[in-house]
Structure 1
Amino acid sequence: MSGWLAGARLAATTFTVLPLRAGRIDRTTASRAMSLAAVVGAALGAVLAGALLALDAAGAPPLVAGAVTVALGALLTRGLHLDGLADTADALGSYRSGQAALDIMKKPDVGPFGVAALVLALLAQAAALAAFPAGPWTATLAAVVTATAAGRLAATWACRRGVPAARPDGLGALVAGTVGPVTLAVGTAAVVAVAVAAVPGRPWQGPAAVVTATAVALLLTRHVVRRVGGITGDVLGAAIEVTTTITYLGLVLR
């Protein structure tokens, strides 16, 4: 039990701003943390859904409510996943590979590909939240929890066995290849189950959005591994944001 508590603390400090003492950090703890990523995402999603519903009840215009909710999500994650998306986009957009691409990821500045990726992702998420149809609050809760949990589930998939780290140090080296197939199956099934309630009258749409977004994240991860030799913390952030965005879009399509 103490090992899983250490994993939960590491997951919380990796995916949120909670000021918890991480405690012991090793590959076993990292495996447990990545296994719990979707759980942390679901908890974060519940907070964001509460904010969205509160803003709607206060009379905020839908786009304003959506934008503030997205901003709150960035605040509660220290913007780390967005930073990972920008760095990964710049590296891939450079058409370089190997160490040259990794060097671009490490640069503190953001290039044009990174800026474009950030703007499009944030705009799409805010617009999707604004487009949620009027319905029971439980559907809104399920939708936001689904998208946020699905994003973290993508990080779990990126850390599956067989996926190497691009560097010998850093977050990627700690978590790469630590998640087994049983954990992936259980985590995916749990997120898909929550997604059933995300779109009233269309119980298939939420699961379809999760599966589609996760598949895109798998393709992204595979492409990055081919280009740079493995995953990094930035790649995990990119997978999270891409999956969250696509899941949101899939939930509002009619």
Structure 2
Amino acid sequence: MNQWLDDLRIAIAFLTRLPMPHPDGARPESFARAQRLFPLVGAGIGAAVGLFCLLLRSIGVPDLAAAALTLGGAALLTGALHEDGLADVADGFGGGRDVAAKLEIMRDSRLGTYGALALVVSFASKLAALAALPDGMVVQSLIAAHALGRGALPWIAISLPYARKDGLAANAGASALIMMQLARRQIGGQTGDVLGGAEQVAETAILVLLAARLG
């Protein structure tokens, strides 16, 4: 039980901005093991922001504005960790001429044109999808999107080699099939940014699909 609680604290500390005590004796393998709780933490994030969205709607905030504020709240809760990865991947894959250049661009914290466009497309897609969902499906849909988006992460870590040996992805997990194939073709493997970008692709796709079916 203590090991599960340690893993939960590690997963919460990594995926959110919530202050968590660092488990005693935590090692890199502890972080890898904590990936099993990524879907649970993702579900918690989805539930929290879903209830926030319903609260905004209940007090008369228009659906589109409520969706925008909800997405902003989610970014604050998570520190926009995965959004940053998506932007870096878009800049690197779009602007680099070879693998070395792509990896170098992805290390650069500055936001480029491709990264900005990727964030706009992702945000606009999630905004429209969330605004289209009926009240009765908002919380469930956000739980599904956040849980499945983060639950897909360990798969890429298993399926792809590491594009570089000193990055976060050496101890983290994996993502959507399209992103996995793209990363393999572009840089020959995975990085932490690829994992973050994959989570965003999965999260956005799930919300859009649910809105198309339920909206």
1:38–1:3 CA distance, 2 compared to 1 (3 A)? same
Asked whether the equivalents of residues 128 and 248 of structure 1 are also in contact (C-alpha less than 8 Å), the reply is yes
- Measured in 2, the distance between the counterparts of 1:167 and 1:26 equals 20
Aligned positions of 1:130-145 closer than 5 A? 130-134=131-135, 136=136, 139-145=137-143
- Measured in 2, the distance between the counterparts of 1:173 and 1:151 equals 19
1:12 aligns with 2:9: no
Asked whether the equivalents of residues 89 and 193 of structure 2 are also in contact (C-alpha less than 8 Å), the reply is yes
Please identify, of 98-107 and 162-171, the stretch whose mean Cα deviation from structure 2 is larger.
Answer: 162-171
Q: Which residue of 2 aligns with 1:191?
A: none
Aligned length: 212
Aligned positions of 1:173-212 closer than 5 A? 173-175=170-172
Please identify, of 150-159 and 80-89, the stretch whose mean Cα deviation from structure 2 is larger.
Answer: 150-159
Q: Which residue of 1 aligns with 2:103?
A: 102
CA deviation map 1:129-178 (0-9, x unaligned): 110135x3xx3221110111111122122222x4222222231112368x
- Measured in 1, the distance between the counterparts of 2:161 and 2:2 equals 28
- Deviation of 1:91 (Å): 1.0
> Where does the alignment leave 5 or more consecutive residues of structure 2 unmatched?
none
Q: Which residue of 2 aligns with 1:168?
A: 165
Asked whether the equivalents of residues 35 and 172 of structure 2 are also in contact (C-alpha less than 8 Å), the reply is yes
1:35–1:96 CA distance, 2 compared to 1 (3 A)? farther
Aligned positions of 1:1-254 closer than 5 A? 1-23=1-23, 24-134=25-135, 136=136, 139-160=137-158, 162-175=159-172, 217-254=176-213
- Deviation of 1:64 (Å): 0.2
Identity %, equivalent residues: 39
- Measured in 1, the distance between the counterparts of 2:28 and 2:11 equals 13
Please provide the CA RMSD for this pair: 1.8
- Measured in 2, the distance between the counterparts of 1:67 and 1:53 equals 13
- Deviation of 1:27 (Å): 4.1
What is the identity, as a one-letter code, of the residue corresponding to 2:149?
Answer: G
Please identify, of 148-157 and 56-65, the stretch whose mean Cα deviation from structure 2 is larger.
Answer: 148-157
- Measured in 2, the distance between the counterparts of 1:176 and 1:83 equals 16
Asked whether the equivalents of residues 88 and 115 of structure 2 are also in contact (C-alpha less than 8 Å), the reply is yes
